[in-house]
């Protein structure tokens, strides 16, 4: 037992002496091995160069930056473990960053049969605000205030003219339309005439908040709810509904709430404050020479020669088909081949080439830095899409 205690005491004394020797060695300034990273006050790491200086944090696609190694031990003279060196040296590659630039499609000027040179300034507005002012978005997520017409930020939309005889074509309704958009629309009708497409009429233009409210409430009041007596399929509609569309059995009308009716109506008639028509930049059209059924707004209009031509060429005049057939989940509105919206030719060209709707386009512009001051996109780009007109075309006297 005494032998065991002597051995234990000897070991303990040996350990204490070894610790004392290590402490003395550190105090004499022996180099500290390079670990590759030093914790900052925020708990993150800053890369360390081979020379031992601390660099600024470098963006990386990796979750954790790889430590910097060196064949030679790091020199720690003049560098503390709490304060970074005054001079910053980074040896790792820094990713190149720049302001996002909008991706432009191939700029192709439209080719017109008619001489529309007098209308160019309307189709392709290049003024102090150029066509950006026509990008106003109205939908369920971006409602317009009830008293918007008294707001200065909407003043440009108040530049409306009465739709009637233009001296070239006569439109039957007494409606209002934004002056720039109306002149661009007139140019579109003139060009359609060159393709044998006439009798394009406007059925709806600008609508006030109160007018939209009246239309919406009227549609809600006419909406009914039916339940199939056999399969219990539910149908909410303002159309006549006597047999189940699924199994053909009889249906029974049941009580419907305002919310149910309003939700259904909102798919084809916007609630007040959310209608594209309230911008003063939207128009509904028909072709009066078509059979009587086409004089109402129906989706079959998109299959007619007039509907097809307008959908394909509207961008040339600064318009877009506001509610395309493949964007219903984005716009929240059913396909409306009769509804066209003015945005100016620069933006209509972009939307046409990118095959996106207004909601998607505004997100695209935001994500690509278009609205940033240094985005590199200017109204000068509009001038690249000004066509040559018949009387001034190259090669003609």
d(C-alpha 337, C-alpha 325), whole Å: 8
How does 324-354 read in b/e, with b if 16+ C-beta sit within 10 Å?
Answer: beebeebbbbebbbbbbbbbbbbbbbbbbee
d(C-alpha 113, C-alpha 150), whole Å: 41
Which one of the listed residues 120, 336, 373, 388 is annotated catalytic? Answer: 336
Is residue 253 annotated as a catalytic residue, yes or no? Answer: no
Q: H helices of 96-136, where?
A: 120-123
Grouping H, G, I as helix, E, B as strand and the rest as coil, residue 130 is helix
Q: H helices of the chain, where?
A: 2-27, 120-123, 179-194, 209-222, 258-265, 305-313, 328-331, 345-354, 358-367
Q: CA 173 from chain center: how many Å?
A: 33
Q: H helices of 271-327, where?
A: 305-313
Instruction: Tokens for 318, please give them.
Output: 């600064």
In whole angstroms, how far apart are CA 222 and each of 124, 139, 234, 238? 42, 23, 17, 5
Catalytic residues: 336
């Amino acid at each position: 037992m005494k032998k065991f205690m002597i051995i234990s005491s000897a070991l303990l004394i040996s350990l204490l002496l070894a610790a004392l020797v290590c402490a003395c060695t550190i105090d004499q300034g022996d180099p500290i091995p390079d670990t590759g990273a030093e914790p900052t006050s925020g708990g993150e790491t800053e890369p360390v160069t081979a020379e031992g200086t601390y660099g600024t944090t470098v963006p990386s696609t990796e979750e954790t930056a790889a430590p910097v190694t060196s064949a030679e031990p790091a020199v720690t003279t003049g560098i503390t473990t709490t304060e970074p060196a005054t001079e910053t040296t980074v040896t790792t590659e820094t990713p190149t960053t720049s302001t996002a630039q909008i991706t432009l499609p191939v700029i192709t000027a439209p080719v017109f049969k008619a001489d529309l040179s007098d209308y160019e300034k309307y189709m392709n507005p290049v003024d102090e605000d150029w066509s950006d002012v026509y990008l106003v978005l109205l939908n369920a997520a971006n409602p317009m205030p009830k008293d918007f017409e008294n707001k200065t930020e909407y003043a440009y939309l108040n530049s409306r003219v009465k739709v009637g005889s233009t001296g070239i074509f006569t439109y039957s309704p007494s409606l209002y339309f934004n002056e720039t958009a109306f002149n661009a629309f007139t140019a579109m009708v003139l060009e359609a005439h060159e393709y044998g497409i006439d009798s394009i009429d406007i059925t709806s233009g600008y609508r006030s908040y109160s007018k939209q409210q009246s239309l919406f409430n009227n549609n809600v009041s006419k909406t009914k709810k039916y339940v199939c007596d056999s399969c219990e399929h539910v149908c909410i509609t303002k159309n006549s509904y006597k047999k189940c569309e699924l199994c053909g059995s009889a249906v029974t009308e049941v009580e419907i709430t305002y919310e149910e009716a309003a939700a259904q109506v909102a798919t084809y008639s916007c609630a007040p404050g959310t209608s594209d028509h309230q911008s003063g930049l939207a128009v509904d059209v028909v072709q009066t020479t078509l059979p009587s059924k086409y004089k109402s707004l129906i989706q079959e209009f998109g299959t007619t020669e007039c509907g097809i031509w307008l959908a394909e060429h509207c961008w040339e005049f600064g318009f877009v088909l506001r509610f395309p057939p493949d964007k219903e989940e984005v716009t929240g509105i059913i396909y409306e081949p009769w509804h066209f919206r003015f945005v100016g030719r620069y933006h209509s060209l972009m939307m046409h080439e990118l095959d996106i709707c207004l909601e998607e386009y505004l997100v695209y512009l935001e994500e690509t830095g278009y609205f940033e001051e240094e985005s590199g996109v200017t109204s000068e780009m509009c001038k690249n899409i000004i066509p040559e007109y018949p009387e001034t075309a190259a090669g003609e006297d």
